[in-house]
C-alpha cells in the first residue's frame, strides 16, 4: 500500500469512528422515553390499551354506558405560538451558532420552523382526530352489544363543550363508531359556554378566586423551580444551548414545544426534545405534576367537590331503570377530567404532593392519567344478583374506592 493509499485509509477510519462517536452522543427519543413524560401533552398512543377483546362477565349483559373524554391532541394557545415564533426562533439561531449538539441534532434545529397558524390556536389536529376515532373502534369491539354501529338518538347521547377541539373530538369518535359516511346523522345539542356537567368549574367563581387565581396554589411549583434539581437542569441547559440568560420560563417553553411537536407527529423528532434526557425530563414532568395536583386535583377540597353535579349525572344515566339514552358520551377538557378523577378518589396518595416529593413514587401523574384523549368509561351490567358497574380509565378496569377488589361493583 503506497503512502497516499495509507493516508486515505486512515482518514476514512478517522471519519468513520468520529461519526460513530458523534452518533452515540446524538439524541435518541426511544432511549430517553421523552414521550412518556409530557404531562397533559402526552400523546395517547403511548398509554392506549391495544387489547380490544370483547369484555365478558358470566351471565351479565352490558345495558348502559356513561363516558367522559378529553379532547385529542391539539394546537398550542395563541400566546404559546407567538413565543415559539419569536423567542424560540431567536434561541434556535443561538443554538446553531454555539450549541453543544451533534451534527444530526443541529440539522433538526436548522430545518425547524413553526408551522402552526395562530388563527388555529387550540384546534384539534389530525393526530387528535385519529386518537378519538381509534379509541371509539376499540371500545366498540369491547362492547359490541352496547356500542352499536348504527346511530339512534334514543340510544346515543353525544355532547361537547363550546370549543372546536371538543366538537371535532366528538365527531371523530362518532366516525369510529358509525363510519365516515354516517356521521351526519348524529345529533348534538347546543354547546354551552358554562356547561354545568362538562365544565362545572366555569360556573364556580369561588374556585376561580380561592384556587385557580390564588398565588398560594402555585407555592409548591415555585419551591421546586428554585430547588437544586431544577437549578442544576437550568445550568446544564445554559451550557448545552449556549444561551447564557436562559430562564425557567424559557425552559418550560422548550419543554412544552417538545411535547406538542411529539404529540402531533409520531414519526418526526422535535429538536427541542434533544435538550432533555431520560432523567432531566422527569424534572420538567414533576413541575407539571405539582401544578395539576394543586390546581385541578387534591390540593383543595373545593376543586373536586364541585364535580358533584357530574357525579349525579353519571348515576342518573347508569341507573338500569333510566329512560335516558343507553349510551352517554361527553367530550370535554383536562380540567374536567382531573377534577372528576379526584372526585372519585382515584390516584390519591396518602401524603400531599410537595416540592420535596420529587423522586418519590406518587400516583398523581398527568402523563399517565390525563394525556390527550384521556377517558373515563362506566358500564352498567345486568346480572342475576343485581346491576353491576364496570369502571374503566384509559381503557383499563380501575377500582373505585369503596368497591370490592373485583372488576364489577354493585350499583
**Residue 19: pLDDT over 70:** no
For residues 226-244, give the mean pLDDT. 98
Instruction: Say if residues 35 and 43 touch (Cβ distance below 8 Å).
Output: yes
In a domain, 2, yes or no: no
Tens-digit pLDDT profile for residues 312-357: 999 999 999 999 999 999 999 999 999 999 999 999 999 999 999 9
**Residue 69: pLDDT over 80:** yes
In a domain, 27, yes or no: no
In a domain, 388, yes or no: yes
In a domain, 155, yes or no: yes
**Residue 20: pLDDT over 50:** no
**Residue 14: pLDDT over 50:** no
The pLDDT score that the predictor gives to residue 37 is: 97
CATH assignment of the domain containing 258: 3.40.50.1240
Using pLDDT thresholds of 50, 70 and 90, give the confidence band for residue 5: low
User: Which residues lie below 8 Å from residue 393, measured CB to CB, with a gap of 6+?
Assistant: 341, 346, 369, 374, 375, 376, 377
Range in 27-36, 127-136, 145-154, 203-212 the model is least confident about: 27-36
The pLDDT score that the predictor gives to residue 25 is: 75
Q: Which domain holds residue 110?
A: 38-410
In a domain, 263, yes or no: yes
In a domain, 208, yes or no: yes
Using pLDDT thresholds of 50, 70 and 90, give the confidence band for residue 81: very high
Q: How many domains does the chain have?
A: 1
In a domain, 9, yes or no: no
For residues 178-202, give the mean pLDDT. 94
Using pLDDT thresholds of 50, 70 and 90, give the confidence band for residue 9: low
The pLDDT score that the predictor gives to residue 21 is: 41
pTM: 0.92
Tens-digit pLDDT profile for residues 24-61: 479 887 788 999 999 999 999 999 999 999 999 999 99
Cα–Cα distance for residue pair 193/199, rounded to 1 Å? 8
Average pLDDT of the chain?
94
Of residues 285 and 360, the one with the higher pLDDT is 285
Amino acid at each position: 500500500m503506497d503512502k497516499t493509499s495509507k493516508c486515505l485509509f486512515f482518514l476514512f477510519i478517522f471519519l468513520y469512528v468520529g461519526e460513530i462517536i458523534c452518533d452515540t452522543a446524538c439524541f435518541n427519543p426511544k432511549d430517553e422515553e421523552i414521550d412518556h413524560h409530557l404531562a397533559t401533552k402526552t400523546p395517547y398512543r403511548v398509554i392506549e390499551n391495544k387489547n380490544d377483546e370483547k369484555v365478558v362477565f358470566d351471565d351479565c349483559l352490558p345495558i348502559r354506558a356513561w363516558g367522559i373524554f378529553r379532547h385529542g391532541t391539539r394546537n398550542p394557545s395563541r400566546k404559546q405560538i407567538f413565543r415559539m415564533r419569536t423567542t424560540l426562533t431567536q434561541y434556535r439561531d443561538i443554538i446553531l451558532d454555539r450549541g453543544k449538539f451533534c451534527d444530526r441534532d443541529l440539522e433538526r434545529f436548522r430545518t425547524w420552523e413553526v408551522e402552526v397558524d395562530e388563527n388555529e390556536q387550540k384546534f384539534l389536529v389530525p393526530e387528535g382526530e385519529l386518537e378519538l376515532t381509534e379509541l371509539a373502534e376499540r371500545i366498540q369491539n369491547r362492547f359490541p352489544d352496547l356500542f352499536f354501529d348504527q346511530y339512534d338518538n334514543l340510544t346515543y347521547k353525544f355532547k361537547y363543550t363550546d370549543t372546536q377541539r371538543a366538537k371535532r373530538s366528538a365527531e371523530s369518535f362518532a366516525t369510529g363508531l358509525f363510519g365516515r359516511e354516517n356521521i351526519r346523522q348524529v345529533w348534538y345539542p347546543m354547546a354551552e359556554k358554562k356547561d354545568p356537567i362538562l365544565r362545572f368549574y366555569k360556573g364556580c367563581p369561588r374556585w376561580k378566586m380561592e384556587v385557580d387565581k390564588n398565588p398560594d396554589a402555585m407555592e409548591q411549583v415555585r419551591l421546586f423551580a428554585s430547588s437544586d434539581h431544577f437549578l442544576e437542569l437550568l445550568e446544564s441547559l445554559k451550557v448545552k444551548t449556549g444561551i447564557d440568560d436562559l430562564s425557567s420560563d424559557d425552559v418550560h417553553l422548550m419543554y412544552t414545544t417538545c411535547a406538542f411537536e411529539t404529540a402531533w407527529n409520531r414519526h418526526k423528532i422535535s429538536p427541542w426534545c434533544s435538550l432533555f434526557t431520560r432523567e432531566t425530563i422527569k424534572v420538567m414532568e414533576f413541575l407539571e405534576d405539582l401544578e395539576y395536583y394543586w390546581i385541578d386535583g387534591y390540593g383543595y377540597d373545593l376543586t373536586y367537590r364541585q364535580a358533584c353535579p357530574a357525579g349525579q349525572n353519571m348515576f342518573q344515566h347508569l341507573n338500569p331503570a333510566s329512560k335516558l339514552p343507553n349510551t352517554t358520551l361527553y367530550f370535554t377538557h383536562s380540567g374536567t377530567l382531573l377534577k372528576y378523577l379526584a372526585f372519585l378518589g382515584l390516584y390519591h396518595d396518602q401524603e400531599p404532593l410537595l416540592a420535596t416529593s420529587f423522586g418519590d413514587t406518587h400516583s398523581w401523574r398527568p402523563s399517565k392519567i390525563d394525556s390527550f384523549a384521556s377517558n373515563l368509561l362506566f358500564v352498567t351490567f345486568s346480572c342475576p344478583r343485581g346491576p353491576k358497574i364496570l369502571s374503566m380509565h384509559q381503557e383499563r378496569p380501575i377500582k373505585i374506592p369503596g368497591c370490592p377488589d373485583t372488576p364489577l361493583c354493585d350499583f
